[in-house]
Amino acid sequence: MATEVLVPVLGESITEATVGEWLKQPGDKVAADEPIASLETDKVSVEVPSPVAGVMGEHAVKVGDTVQVGALLATVDAGGAATAAPTPAPQPAVTETPAAAPASAAAALSPSVRRAVLEHGVDPSTVTGTGKDGRLTKEDVAAAASSKPAAAAAPAPAATPAAAPSAGGRKEERVKMTRLRQTIARRLKEAQNTAAMLTTFNDVDMSAVIAARAKYKDLFEKKHGVRLGFMGFFVKAATMALKDVPAVNASIEGDEIVYHDYADISVAVSAPNGLVVPVIRDAQNLSVAGIEKTIGDFGKRAKDGTLKMDEMKGGTFTISNGGVFGSLMSTPIINPPQSAVLGLHRIEERPVVVDGQIVVRPMMYLAVSYDHRLIDGREAVTFLVALKNAIEDPTRILIDL
């Protein structure tokens, strides 16, 4: 008996998604609650589990298709493990296996892995996947390409004539934007069109925080089970500065200003399909250790694709750390309906004047972009100076000064 697999409820106000990847192909054995497909929503990838154990039936939609909540994705033949397997077994099909295997394997690849396969000219059916449930990753493809013997490059031209009609080897590739990337593009443009956005800068001497981290990082990790990073200091310092300058933590709804007596800090985290922004709830009540634990958990689950929708909703203020990628200075864009965002950048030694003497200190540029409709320049600068003071003298964080 065939059981229908429908697009599940994806979260409040989310009505559709894009089919990102098929994790099971027709004829594959499927266990109850085993993921069979991955859907890309506006914010995260969601895996769809099989409601029953059996054999994967036909796919009702293709990778890249947009599907509505409640729509049919596929069918699963409950208890039919022995019926689907014989279908591809006839002997005459043996001669077609070399061509058919890559086609079926390619159908199950994510867009990024599919691009890597094309770039490296690797047959995905010959590569063992190390990802979740044996899925192929970009690293698997790169490793297979680097280990290919020189002689193995000969068969590749057979598959590439269509991609290399030009003698100069110039190629173009068109890849449909993921749903997440489309949403990021739309929201960032909306922010530019709606907010009266302005950015103010300052720099901060990281000497004290670096010294504290060096002194206590081993004890910190031993006690709390998580590494002591810089984000814990910045998030805690930001919550204190937001308390001093509540306008930076506010938002505009219609003709009203909404002030929040809590600090839900959105933190940009890298995920396979781009940046996601989970929210640290009530960060003002957390210790530096609690903040670091929360961020570490977000980072791990972002890479695994297991962040939940509710964990990325809301947020009253955002911190984005472009410094981990080497950024020296930037003007971050507000994440609506928030009214401000803090941009952190790389730490580098620079000459500065201290007590009339030129000394070398580890410095970082800070940038706060804000909605000038709500936040005055004085308030933005006051917030940034309060943050700078707390980072340069971390004792302020301990005594709430």
- CA angle, corner 65, sides to 59 and 70, nearest 5? 70
Alpha helices in 225-369 (DSSP H): 231-244, 288-304
3-state secondary structure of 381: helix
User: Model confidence at 110, in pLDDT bands (50, 70, 90)?
Assistant: low
From 47-51, 134-138, 221-225, the region with the lowest mean pLDDT: 134-138
Equal fold, 2-163 vs 197-399:
no
Element (H, E) at 343: strand 340-344
What are the backbone angles phi and psi of residue 337, rounded to the nearest 5°? -85, 15
Query: Which residues lie closer than 8 Å to 322 by C-beta, 6 or more apart?
Result: 330, 332, 343, 344, 345, 346
CATH of domain 2-163: 2.40.50.100
Catalytic residue among 33, 133, 218, 376: 376
Please report how the helices 207-224 and 288-304 are oriented relative to each other, as an axis angle in degrees rounded to 10. Answer: 70
Q: Which residue has the higher pLDDT, 88 or 237?
A: 237
Which residues, including other chains, have CB under 8 Å from residue 317's CB and lie 6 or more apart?
A: 238, 242, 248, 249, 263, 264, 265, 266, 338, 340, 341, 342
Strand partners, 6: 72
14: helix, strand or coil = coil
| 318/297 Cα distance (integer angstroms) | 18
- Residue 344, both tokens: 């952190």
Dihedral, 117, 122, 123, 126 alpha carbons, nearest 10: -110
Nearest to 251 by CA among 200, 331, 198, 195: 195
User: For 8-31, what is each residue's pLDDT tens digit?
Assistant: 877 655 677 888 888 889 889 988
Q: One of 33, 218, 372, 393 is an active-site residue; which one?
A: 372
**By C-alpha distance, which of 366, 341, 329 is closest to 202?**
366
Over residues 363-378, the pLDDT tens digits come to 999 999 999 999 999 9
Cβ–Cβ under 8 Å, residues 33 and 50: yes
User: Of 15-29, 129-143, 272-286, 378-392, which gets the smallest average pLDDT?
Assistant: 129-143
Strands (E) across 196-258 are located at 197-205, 251-253, 256-258
| Segment 312-334, tens digit of pLDDT | 888 999 999 988 888 899 999 99
Beta bridge partners of 300: none
Pairing of strands 265-267, 72-78: unpaired
Which CATH number does 197-399 carry?
3.30.559.10
Q: How confident is the model at residue 78 (pLDDT cuts 50, 70, 90)?
A: confident
What pLDDT, on a 0 to 100 scale, did the predictor assign at position 200?
A: 95
Residue type, 364: M
Domain boundary assignment for the chain:
2-163, 197-399
372: annotated active-site residue: yes
Q: Which two tokens stand for residue 55?
A: 């054999």
393-to-231, 286, 304, 321, 341 alpha-carbon distances in Å: 15, 19, 36, 21, 22
Q: Which residue has better confidence, 131 or 102?
A: 131
Q: Is 1 exposed, middle or buried (0-12, 13-18, 19+ CB in 10 A)?
A: exposed
